[in-house]
Chains A and B, each alone.
Chain A
Amino acid sequence: MPSVEASHSEANEGEGLGVLRSVVQQLRNNRLGVLGVALVIFVVASALFAPLIITHDPIRIMVGPRLAAPSLDFLLGTDQLGRDTFSRTIMGGRIPLLVAFASLGSALAVGLLLGLIAGIGPRWLDNLLLLVFDTKRSIPSIIFALAMIALLGPSLATLIFVIAIGSVPIYGRVVRTQTRALRNSEYIAAERSMGASTTRIVAVHVAPNVIGPLLILVSMDIPAVIAVEAGLSFLGMGVRPPTPDWGVILNDGYASINQSPWPVIAGGIPIVLATLGFTFLGEALRDIFDPKLRKDL
């Protein structure tokens, strides 16, 4: 892939639009990336325009026969309560995507802040934060999430909160390591020698250089977060039925797996499509922005 090297230096030209154009260009050359973009657009668009797409009320029961096989009327069949699986699936994407963006957004902000504090702050604070990050990472994420849900009660807010907390230590650590490296760089010393305050150095000279790699990392975490959200809802720890949600739909299908295979087949498909799409996209983005990290495929 010589094109990656060549246009990477192009991306350094610094012009914002140029960067965007070259990213699009490279994405187009990456077959997996194209597939990822297509899947992501498909999933996100169907969630955004869900009310226009659905063919039946996703919550109303007995709109059709129970556990019907896919047909023209019920594109993905019906579940054990006679609800239309297609409509539920389309609507069910809203919560996972909302949780993913809300939790990763807040994790990004908090991780960036804590990482900058650890990176620029005094040694003891750095060590303390690292210790807390390591401690958090020692608790298996799902088990930690379950414990928090037990204490706070299952709800959308708990879900977002728990998933955000799970990602903060990783982001914090990455930002901290980058900040430490930048802190010893000559240009930070030069800024300091001119009398720049720490706040100014962090805001103008450190944060912009740290945020790029962090964004790639976050984009690569989207599929994992969707999986965790769906998993917790599957366990009945996320949003409560009858709200349509991919995890809930899969669980409904799982409950009637012995009567009919259709609900469980249909219930898993959106999760598979969404995680695959975001994974392919994340891989492609990483290849483009960070050729050093590229794992040859």
Chain B
Amino acid sequence: MSALLRVEDLRVCFRMMGPLKALATGTKSPFIEAVCGVSFEIRKGETLALVGESGSGKSTIARTIIGLQRAVSGSISFDGQEIEELSGTERKPYLRRMAMVFQDHVGSLSPRLTVRSLLTEPFRIHGLKDRDVGGEAERLLRMVGLPADFARRYPHQLSGGQARRVGIARALALNPDLIIADEPTAGLDVSVQGEVLNLLARLQDELGMAILIITHNLNVVRHMTDRMAIMYLGRFIEVGSTERIFEHPRHPYTKALLAANPEPDPDAVLNRIELKGEVPSLMRRPSGCEFHTRCQYAQDICTRVFPEPSASPHDTGHSFRCHFPLERETVAPVQERLGSSVGPKPARARHGRAYALATAVGTRKARPSTEDGSLRKISPKTKK
């Protein structure tokens, strides 16, 4: 199958200080590499997750794809057409076919526009004046499960979950082929998180767009995505199918991340790998394997030689950067644990997935909100 979006060897840098200050403070390079040499592709209708700690460069990748950030090198092609080098008006037709849902749900809505204007903003931007604006706004609101009278509201009159729904509705306005969702659950109540994710999953089933999800919420990844990529200091350290990685993480960092995820099953045997120390600064990248400063398996070679990506012998789609990848035996308890908690997973039926999501995210985590009435009060309209 052909790739909808193909990113190759993408590098993005940020300037940390002016040239004058760099000269004055004796800094050799005033740039940091937020994303260095990342390659991946997303096929039509597929869901890919970018996972990593904050500052690992996942949001930067999203912003570069959508054109908010320039790449230093590398290519981004959408439906076979190189779009990285395009600027302004040339990029516009492609921006019509992809849309981003921003992390800051209220902040990404222009404060002086009504929801109706916000939702129909894409039509005006792309010169589709012939559409019935009122009707479209109503259709989009219905699609994301908000009442039609929301069209008259202003962003500050929306709750977090409602603003997120408006953001999703706007992203869907032009029926895009690709949706980039930057932390779709960030800053939302756990009960609302489940609703938003179910909404995304349902809409993907109905409309068939591909989704790139950026998150550090592994529950989201496990239940929504086909493939996942784990980022560390701007690089992919492990890529593969979600199922495979959750079962057999090969990179110690991946394993540590998975182990740090709260375990829904109280009876599960916890064998966590704790991450030592802090994420190194991008200004001073460690030598060799960049994870060696925090890796409990680090050997001498790890401090000197940068590991090349190697493919798993069992699965060519699964690759990782590690000199000493974890073997199956070491993860056996994890595997056992996963098997018990994710019942309907292997079936991967679309509706089954949505169901699993509701049980895993919605019901389990919704418990605190029943104890605290105020959590419910925030989004009475979405509780339908």
Contact = CB atoms under 8 A, between A and B. Distances in A.
B102 interface: yes
Contacts of B99: 193-194
Contact of B107 (A12, A185, A205): A185
A204 B118 CA distance: 11
Contact of B102 (A190, A205, A209): A190
B154 interface: yes
A3 interface: no
A185 B121 CA distance: 17
A194 B108 contact: no
A145 to B, nearest CB: 36
B122 A194 contact: yes
Given A12-B156, A186-B102, A193 B107 contact: no
Nearest to B96: A195
B68 A14 contact: no
A72 B68 CA distance: 73
A195 B108 contact: no
Contact of B121 (A189, A191, A209): A191
Contact of A195 (B95, B111, B167): B95
B112 A193 contact: no
Nearest to B180: A193
A200 interface: yes
B107 A192 contact: no
A49 interface: no
A151 B29 CA distance: 51
A190 B95 CA distance: 11
B261 interface: no
Nearest to B63: A189
Nearest to A187: B110
B125 A195 contact: yes
Contacts of A187: 107-111
Contacts of A200: 125
A209 B100 contact: no
B112 A208 contact: yes
Interface string B275-314: 0000000000000000000000000000000000000000
B88 interface: yes
Nearest to B173: A194
Interface string A138-168: 0000000000000000000000000000000
Contacts of A193: 66-68, 95, 99-100, 102
B125 A196 contact: yes
A197 interface: yes
Contacts, number: 60
Contacts of B113: 204
Given A193-B68, A194-B122, A186 B95 contact: no
B214 to A, nearest CB: 14
B122 to A, nearest CB: 5
B107 to A, nearest CB: 4
Contacts of A209: 111-112
Contacts of A194: 95, 99, 121-122, 125, 170
B91 interface: yes
A189 B111 contact: no
B46 interface: no
A13 to B, nearest CB: 8
Nearest to B104: A186
A84 B104 CA distance: 66
A4 B307 CA distance: 62
A192 B110 contact: no
A190 B108 contact: yes
Contact of A14 (B95, B107, B109, B154): B154
Interface in A205-221: 205, 208-209
B377 interface: no
A260 B47 CA distance: 90
B126 interface: yes
B367 interface: no
B364 interface: no
B92 interface: yes
A205 B117 CA distance: 12
A186 B167 CA distance: 12
Q: Which of A189, A195, A200, A205 has the most CB of B within 10 A?
A: A195
Interface in A26-76: none
Q: Which of B99, B112, B154 has the most CB of A within 10 A?
A: B112
A5 to B, nearest CB: 16
A193 B212 CA distance: 15
Contacts of B104: 186
Contacts of A204: 110, 113
A208 B89 CA distance: 24
Contacts of A205: 110, 112
Nearest to A206: B110
Nearest to B109: A187
Nearest to A12: B156
B67 A192 contact: yes
B100 A190 contact: yes
Contacts of A12: 156
Nearest to A185: B107
A195 B102 contact: no
Contacts of B68: 189, 192-193
A204 B92 CA distance: 18
Interface string B71-98: 0000000000000000011011001100
Interface of A: 12, 14, 185-187, 189-197, 200, 204-205, 208-209
26 contacts: A14-B154, A186-B107, A187-B107, A187-B109, A189-B108, A190-B102, A190-B108, A190-B109, A190-B110, A190-B167, A191-B110, A191-B125, A192-B67, A193-B66, A193-B67, A193-B68, A193-B99, A193-B102, A194-B121, A194-B170, A195-B91, A195-B92, A195-B125, A197-B125, A208-B112, A209-B112
Given A193-B66, A205-B110, 14 more contacts: A12-B156, A185-B107, A186-B103, A186-B104, A187-B108, A191-B110, A191-B121, A191-B125, A192-B67, A193-B95, A193-B102, A195-B91, A196-B121, A196-B125
User: Would you list the 6 A-B pairs with minimal beta carbon distance, nearest first?
Assistant: A195-B95, A186-B107, A190-B108, A186-B108, A195-B92, A186-B104
